[in-house]
Structure 1
């Protein structure tokens, strides 16, 4: 039962990644078609982020009442509806409307699935599952590119991905009996109970893990958004090459999570976070120098991606170990909200810094964020050691 369910979860993680990079790949065409400024993409991402934060905070109560299977099914169905809506929206207002179910669906399923895997499967599966998220996030730009380079509309790309999500919704619907059986089997040893936000924050170490997660997602999202612009504006790398190099950051994350799966059970989540942070610092340090060969920037970005790879899965997987299992869904839900907050706030903050200073501060900004994350990760370890 658990093996078949794991296969379903792997497929669901690909689904989680599919919508995440669609907007970025389609927006250069979308904003012209809709006759809105290119900056309006920020409004869409803010609406999506608000939805994900709200649904992440509610995930504990939803999962307790309806179970992981049904929450996952409804969440994926909401993202399918949102993507389908994007495929026929002819106005920016309609995009904002469909961004609401987009965000709500993404947040709830992310928190529910991550908690389920953290409770029931080994650390290696958490790494491999998030590697499959990377597969989904890498595939969707190619799907969009296929339609755009073929002279077709971006709406067809959204429509195709919405069909994939609808197909997954059907698979999840057919798998509901598996989830129900799993819920009966595990109910006796989970003792799961929802807990209020203010009470969750009082648990020793929770605030530190939230800040750590905020810091990590700030690093990942800032690097993904600004690396290409830094290479073009500050290092003189041609735009087409810089765009390719920026993609290697995500390739580093995807490949790194696949490789981390083979060692994470032996090394342990705590050390995976520590070693990953140190590798990020190494990659950023290399990225700060000027090179005659552009390939060194690519290698530096891959190293940063490899360092990022194990941190997200390790933080999630260690939650039921670091804190009472019965509160893990509540804590993971808040962690996801903190993650989305870091993703939403910190890249625009660097944009503001660029507007008043220089984009040359990009590596310094990443160094500060990484040091911030590592500091609070170690504070968490110290706190847990004292309360053990």
Structure 2
């Protein structure tokens, strides 16, 4: 029965990825029909991410009240409804309104599933589950690209993904008893976690640095995904249909990278996994910066995705080691809120920057975020070394 539940969780992570990447791949076709500037993608992205931050902050209360199973089903259902709303929208402001349930549906389920897996399954599943998020993130733009290539409008892409989400919601509803059974067997373990105040969490050595690292990493990932297609169209002169598919290569890199990372973790610790990923990102950025040909940009996006792959799961998985098991439950929530804050603020900031300057700033913007992440991770590592977790009190 537990194996069936694990399959459901993997499928749920695909569900998390499917809508996350649609906006970036579809926007080159959307903004002209909506008669808005290209930078307005950042506004929709900010609304969606803002809803995600709010639902993440309240995820603890939601889990206690509903349980992980019900919360997951409700959240996926909200996302399905929001995607259907996108498919029937014909104005920018309609998209903004539907972006609210879009974001609220994503935040709670993300925190709940990460916490559930950390409590009940082995560490290697963390990388592989995030790999399955990448499967969804890759499929979304490909589905959109195929429909655009065959003459359908962007609305059809959102409608297709909404049908997939509705089907998954039904599966989650029918499998709710599996979640209850698993929860009962591990109830005592869940109750071991102590809640810490925000002041206590922020006072922990390395906490602020690692929060900034999460902020900058997710800002990098979200900005890369949202603006890749627009950069390829407006700066490289690539057709919108082709750019949508090429932009998906970034998420393809994340997906393959996380699958491989699950095996590499048997030989390499979390700290070195993060450093390996950062090095690969820098290589990808170099290919994106130097305009040798359009295909180097394509390869660069794949490499950036491969580099991003191990960073988020490794940082999450190292939290109990860096801060202690008793505080990890509290700090993971704050880390994810910091991550979503980066997702909320930095892609729209780039949107406004490219509106006033040029979209050619895209590789430079990503480079700045990458080096901010590297500096903050290494600063946190130094603080962890000087302040061992044993006997640490907030």
Using the size of structure 2 for normalisation, the TM-score is 0.87
Identify the residue that residue 317 of structure 2 maps to in structure 1: 317
Deviates more, 1:254-263 or 1:215-224: 215-224
Report matched runs for 1:298-313 at 5 Å: 298-313=298-313
In 1: Cα distance, 2:230 partner to 2:72 partner? 36
Deviates more, 1:321-330 or 1:339-348: 321-330
In 2: Cα distance, 1:355 partner to 1:100 partner? 25
Q: Deviations over 1:22-70 (max 9, x none)?
A: 2334444544555555544333222211100111111122223332222
Identify the residue that residue 268 of structure 1 maps to in structure 2: 269
Tell me: CA distance 1:47–1:225, structure 2 relative to 1, closer, same or farther (3 Å): closer
SS where residue 266 of structure 1 aligns?
A: coil
In 2: Cα distance, 1:273 partner to 1:246 partner? 23
Identify the residue that residue 254 of structure 2 maps to in structure 1: 253
Shift of 1:185: 1.8
Shift of 1:358: 5.1
SS where residue 18 of structure 1 aligns?
A: helix
Shift of 1:230: 5.0
Q: Deviations over 1:80-122 (max 9, x none)?
A: 2212222334544433332211111101111111122233333
In 1: Cα distance, 2:380 partner to 2:355 partner? 35
> Could you tell me whether the CA contact under 8 Å between 1:60 and 1:329 is conserved in 2?
no
Deviates more, 1:272-281 or 1:362-371: 362-371
> Could you tell me whether the CA contact under 8 Å between 1:51 and 1:102 is conserved in 2?
yes
Tell me: CA distance 1:36–1:162, structure 2 relative to 1, closer, same or farther (3 Å): same
Task: Point out where structure 2 has 5 or more consecutive residues left out of the alignment.
Answer: 389-394
Identify the residue that residue 206 of structure 1 maps to in structure 2: 207
Shift of 1:348: 3.3
Report matched runs for 1:171-182 at 5 Å: 171-182=171-182
Shift of 1:180: 1.6
In 1: Cα distance, 2:33 partner to 2:359 partner? 30
Q: Deviations over 1:203-243 (max 9, x none)?
A: 33322221111111122223334445556666x56456665
Tell me: CA distance 1:353–1:58, structure 2 relative to 1, closer, same or farther (3 Å): same
1:197 aligns with 2:198: yes
In 1: Cα distance, 2:361 partner to 2:27 partner? 26
Tell me: CA distance 1:245–1:141, structure 2 relative to 1, closer, same or farther (3 Å): closer
After TM superposition, what 4+ stretches of structure 1 lie above 6 angstroms from structure 2?
none
Identify the residue that residue 95 of structure 1 maps to in structure 2: 95
Deviates more, 1:342-351 or 1:213-222: 342-351
> Could you tell me whether the CA contact under 8 Å between 1:112 and 1:329 is conserved in 2?
no
In 2: Cα distance, 1:371 partner to 1:307 partner? 13
Identify the residue that residue 285 of structure 2 maps to in structure 1: 284
Identify the residue that residue 381 of structure 1 maps to in structure 2: 381
In 1: Cα distance, 2:80 partner to 2:160 partner? 10
> Could you tell me whether the CA contact under 8 Å between 1:118 and 1:319 is conserved in 2?
no
Shift of 1:146: 4.4
RMSD of Structure 2 on Structure 1 (CA)? 2.7
Aligned residues between the structures: 386
Report matched runs for 1:24-39 at 5 Å: 24-31=24-31, 33-34=33-34, 36-39=36-39
Tell me: CA distance 1:374–1:2, structure 2 relative to 1, closer, same or farther (3 Å): farther
Report matched runs for 1:3-82 at 5 Å: 3-31=3-31, 33-34=33-34, 36-82=36-82
Tell me: CA distance 1:120–1:362, structure 2 relative to 1, closer, same or farther (3 Å): same
SS where residue 65 of structure 2 aligns?
A: helix
> Could you tell me whether the CA contact under 8 Å between 1:283 and 1:301 is conserved in 2?
yes
> Could you tell me whether the CA contact under 8 Å between 1:284 and 1:367 is conserved in 2?
yes
Identify the residue that residue 83 of structure 1 maps to in structure 2: 83
In 1: Cα distance, 2:217 partner to 2:183 partner? 32
Identify the residue that residue 121 of structure 2 maps to in structure 1: 121
Shift of 1:368: 2.5
> Could you tell me whether the CA contact under 8 Å between 1:107 and 1:336 is conserved in 2?
no
Q: Deviations over 1:166-215 (max 9, x none)?
A: 22112212222221222222222231344443333233332222111111
In 2: Cα distance, 1:52 partner to 1:111 partner? 10
Tell me: CA distance 1:153–1:117, structure 2 relative to 1, closer, same or farther (3 Å): same
